[in-house]
A and B are shown apart, each in its own frame.
Chain A
Amino acid sequence: MNENREDAKAEIAGLVRNLPGSLIQVYSGGENVSVSGISPLFLALRFPQGENVPEYADLDLHYLDFRARRYEERHFLQAGLESADDRGDYLEAVYRIPEKEFAEVYDFITRQYANYIHCRAGAVDNFFSKELAGYPYEEDTQMAESAQAWYMARKERMELLHQEVLRLTAESRERVYLGSQFCHMLVPSWEALRRQMEEMKATGHPITLCLPYLSESRVLQMQKLLHSVYDWCRQQGEHIEVLYNDYGYEDVQTFDCLQSADHFTWHRGALLDKTKKDPRLKYHMSDRNLPLQMERDADDTGTVYLPFYRISTSQYCTLRALVQKGDRARQSEVLSCEGLCRKYVCIYPEHLNLLGIGNSLWSVEERLLEDPSLLTEYIRQHHVKRIVWNLPLLPGLSGQQERYFFSGEVRG
Chain B
Amino acid sequence: MKITAGMGDLEDFRLLAEAGAEEVFTGFVPPEWDMTRLEALNRREVFFYHVNLCSYGDMKILKRMADAGGVRVSVTFNSPAYAPEHLEKIAGIIGRLCEIGFYDFIIADLSLIRYLDEHPVSSCPVRVHLSGEIGEWNSALLRVLKRNYFRHGNVSFDRLIFHRKMTTEDMRSIMKTGRELFPELTYEAFILNEMCHFTGGFCNSLHCDEMVPICHLPYRLSPLPDAFRKETEADPEDEDGEKVVPGLDGCGLCALYRMNQIGMDVLKLVGRGRSGEGMAEDIRVVKRALTLCRESEDEVQYIRRMKEALFPDGCAGVCYYAEDRVKKCNAE
Contacts and interface: CB of A to CB of B under 8 A. Distances in A.
Nearest to A251: B140
A216 B139 contact: yes
Contacts of B224: 323, 344
Contacts of A329: 195, 197, 249-250, 318
The listed residue with most A CB atoms (<10 A of its CB), out of B64, B201, B202, B228, is: B202
Nearest to B220: A347
A23 interface: yes
Contacts of A322: 221
B284 interface: no
Interface stretch (B54-62, B257-265, B292-300): B54-62
A246 B222 contact: no
Interface residues of A, number: 105
Interface in B303-325: 317-319, 322-323
B122 interface: no
A99 to B, nearest CB: 21
A241 interface: no
B61 A90 contact: yes
Contacts of B229: 326
B48 A20 contact: yes
A172 B322 CA distance: 48
Interface in A50-91: 51, 62, 64, 66, 69-71, 89-90
Q: Is the interface of B mostly helix, strand, loop or mixed?
A: loop
Interface string A220-250: 0000000000000000000000000011111
Interface stretch (B141-149, B151-159, B238-246): B141-149
B194 to A, nearest CB: 10
Interface string B199-212: 10111111011111
Given A32-B57, A213-B136, 5 more contacts: A18-B9, A70-B34, A71-B34, A113-B48, A246-B138
20 contacts: A21-B53, A22-B54, A23-B48, A25-B55, A70-B36, A71-B36, A116-B209, A129-B212, A135-B210, A143-B218, A145-B222, A213-B202, A217-B167, A246-B136, A276-B206, A318-B198, A328-B197, A330-B318, A332-B322, A346-B221
Interface of B: 9-11, 13-14, 29-31, 34-37, 46-58, 60-61, 64-65, 79-81, 109-110, 134-141, 143-144, 147-148, 165-167, 169-171, 173-174, 195, 197-199, 201-206, 208-212, 214-215, 217-224, 228-232, 249-250, 317-319, 322-323
Interface of A: 18, 20-23, 25-27, 31-34, 45-49, 51, 62, 64, 66, 69-71, 89-90, 113, 116-117, 120, 125-126, 128-129, 132-133, 135, 140-141, 143-147, 150, 213-217, 219, 246-255, 271-278, 280-281, 283-284, 310-316, 318, 322-333, 343-349, 352, 354, 356, 360-361
Which 4 residue pairs spanning A and B have beta carbons closest together? A21-B54, A248-B140, A33-B57, A274-B81
